[in-house]
Amino acid sequence: MRFKKTVIFGFILLALASYVYLFEMRGAQQREEAERASQEVVSFDTDEVEELKLVHDDETIHCVRDSGDVWRLVDPLATEGSADDIKRILSTVKDATIRRTVADSAERLADYGLSRPQVTVSVRHQGEQEWRSVTLGDRNPTGTYAYAKRDGEPAVFLVSSSLLNSLDKSPDDLRFRKILDFDKEEVRTISLTHAKGSIVCSKVLDEWMVEKPVRTKADGDEVDTILRKLHDGEAETFVAEDAEDEAQYGLDRPEVTVELFVGEKDNVKSLAIGRREGGTYYARDASRDPVFTVDSSLVSLLMKEAADLRDKSILAFEPYEVEQIRLLTEEMNLLCQKDATSTWQIVEPIAARGDESEIQDLLWALEGLEAEMFVSDEPADLAPYGLARPHDRIELWLEGDSTAQILLVGKTSGERVYVKNNTAPSVYLVDSDFLEKAERAVTDFRDKKVLDFYTYEVRKLDVLRGHERSTWEKNSKGEWRGPDGRSAKKGDISQLLSELQSLKVESFVDDDPSDLAPYGLTPPRYTVLLGFDKEPPQSLEIGEQGEGDRTYVKTRDTAAVYEVKSEVVEKIERLLTEKEGM
């Protein structure tokens, strides 16, 4: 008995749930859709529209969809349509809504500008005979809205006046306006022919190459810019639907001829550009009849010379790829290598740590080196350019490469200098500014940092003066304690540590002195010891004052003697004076 009641109760719940879904949830959704449809100016499905008409005064623009996104105009002229512009109109009309009904029935349509409307837009679904239309009349007094009515319905309502603007189109606005129709990514070859010559570029393994007038690497960005402008370019105006007399437009002897070979079958897309007319040129796509005009800026872009499309890079590398660099100049023979930690080290003519900033600046200058003029692609003699016996030779070894990239530097010509690389016979003229980074002394490429540490890592500071040692230590709270456990002035300690951290070599005095006495370093005036938790200690020995405001110093782990600015001595003496006054 209890089981029977349970089954009956279950059926009741199921029936109740079905009622809620069908009459409440689904019903609410259907009512919402019906309400939304009632507010649409014209109710239709944009994907199902097969025909579109715009009627302005006595002109009718009639567009027909053939298949998919292929549209054509059939009236007032027969030509290809612009699918994007036609679909934009359909979406605008589809999204337009009734703002307010002003009259359920209007006896005098002229009061609303509907007897001679501004525009009537009509759409027809595929497979249907009837058209769905709406007519737009005058703007209301505020200009914010326009009066409108549906075909076959008496009510007059308001729509946004922006709809009038969106439907104010001419046949040329809805026709296919692209100057060339092609897939930019599928172009394999581009040919430009004009008064300055003929240039052919081809894509080889995703890299553009100039094939004519000389075979060399192309500037991919320049070629892509031309293709993008051709792909995106649109006709300014249409001047003739059929050019019976090409000479009238200068198309019998074009100023520029562009040919694109597209896809694996090398389908040819050709554009002829004729004579100039004001700020535009007459042009024609060989696959279509109409003559149109294009902006003169496009023509200027297409009239590039071969040099404009060539790759202007002299060396091909990224600075981070370089593992070794050799500079051979009249003044030095410098070899720098990266060690296992990717830190630059000078190997020749001395062993010393390299200045990361100076070496990177040189590499960036070389990486950015570009030809300002292509002097000769097959020079018979390098001597006239100073390249038979170059002034400088720069060799770069990249990670994983067995041979170096080599730059030879020859004579200067004004503010430019002749150069060539070892990958091509060509001679180039480049801006000579990069020589400021290359033609320097060995010491310019040496690391000028005397000590290498972070101030926050220092836990102990010792200053030795003769046999006297003064010690400061930092406790767990970050407080510095001086001799006798007293608190030290944090500012004085911080200033000294900052001075030591930023201490730079002003002059490399002697890398291997036989006698330290002339520098006041046997014994030194002061010795500064820095202690760390995990790192080995570092030291600085300070000797006598050198030239001007400089002082001789050295570290315990190197033999070299340097000159540094004397401010560090002043900081040490101030700290010692503070200690003595405790």
Record the tokens describing residue 353, joined without a space.
């740590």
Place of tokens 């449809």: 37
Joined tokens for residue 87: 């679909």
Residues 419, 410: contact at Cβ < 8 Å? yes
* Residue 480, pLDDT score: 86
163 closest CA partner among 93, 67, 260: 93
Sheet holding 458-465, edge to edge: 480-481, 468-474, 458-465, 526-532, 538-545, 550-554, 561-565, 507-510
| Selection from 84, 281, 273, 59 nearest residue 177 by Cα | 84
One-letter amino acid at 315 equals L
Which 3-state string (H, E, C) describes 507-560? EEEECCCCCCHHHCECCECEEEEEEECCCCCEEEEEEEECCCCEEEEECCCCCC
CA distance linking residue 434 with residue 45, whole number of Å: 64
Find, among 277, 314, 322, 269, the residue nearest to 296 by Cα: 277
Question: Which own/partner pairs from 486-492 qualify as long-range (CB within 8 Å, at least 24 positions apart)?
Answer: 486/582, 488/578, 488/579, 489/578, 492/571, 492/574, 492/575, 492/578
Identify the CA nearest to 386 among candidates 424, 364, 416.
416
Q: Report d(CA 191, CA 194) in Å as an integer.
A: 10
- Report the C-alpha gap between 197 and 214 in whole angstroms: 12
Of the candidates 318, 357, 354, the residue with the CA atom closest to the CA atom of residue 336? 354
Which pLDDT does position 400 carry in this prediction?
86
Q: Which residue has the tokens 């410098």?
A: 334
C-alpha–C-alpha distance, residues 108 and 113, integer Å: 9
**Summary count for the chain: helices (H), strands (E):** 12, 35
From first to last of its 582 residues, the chain has per-residue pLDDT tens of 555 666 566 667 776 666 655 556 555 555 554 555 568 899 999 999 999 999 998 899 999 999 888 999 999 999 999 999 999 999 999 999 999 999 988 788 999 999 999 999 999 999 899 999 999 999 999 999 999 999 989 999 999 999 999 999 999 999 999 999 999 999 999 999 999 899 999 999 889 999 999 999 999 999 999 999 999 999 999 999 887 889 999 999 999 999 999 998 889 999 999 999 999 999 999 999 999 999 999 999 999 999 999 999 999 999 999 999 999 998 889 999 999 999 999 999 999 999 999 999 999 999 999 999 999 999 999 999 999 999 999 999 999 888 999 999 999 999 999 999 999 999 999 999 999 999 999 999 999 999 999 999 999 999 999 888 989 898 888 888 887 777 777 677 888 899 899 999 999 999 999 999 999 999 999 999 999 988 899 999 999 988 888 999 999 888 899 999 998 888 888 877 765 544
Q: List strands edge to edge, sheet with 207-212.
A: 216-217, 207-212, 197-204, 187-194, 256-262, 267-277, 280-285, 291-295, 238-240
| Nearest residue to 164 (alpha-carbon basis) of 147, 150, 184, 186 | 147
The two three-digit tokens of residue 396, written as one number: 């770069």
What six digits make up the tokens of 122? 């009509």
Question: For position 481, what pLDDT does the model report?
Answer: 85
Q: Which amino acid type is present at position 286? A: A
pLDDT for 27: 56
pLDDT for res 155 = 92
CA 526, CA 576: separation in Å to the nearest integer? Answer: 11
| Spatial separation of the C-alpha atoms in residues 420 and 105, rounded to whole Å | 85
- For residue 350, give the DSSP letter: S
- CATH 2.60.40 positions along the chain are 184-309, 455-580
Per the CB < 8 A criterion, the answer to whether 195 and 259 are in contact is: no
Question: What's the CA gap between 16 and 315, in Å, rounded?
Answer: 79
Q: What is the Cα 535 distance to its own chain's centre?
A: 43
For 455-580, CATH number out of 2.60.40, 1.10.760, 1.10.287, 3.30.1330 equals 2.60.40
Contact present, 283 and 270 (Cβ < 8 Å): no
Q: Which helix (H) or strand (E) holds 128?
A: none
Give the predicted TM-score (pTM) of the model: 0.72
DSSP 25: I
CA distance 167 to 151: 17
- Please state which of the four CATH numbers 2.60.40, 3.30.450, 3.30.70, 1.20.120 is assigned to the domain occupying 184-309: 2.60.40
Tell me what pLDDT residue 10 has.
Answer: 63
- Distance CA(236)–CA(240), nearest Å, equals 13
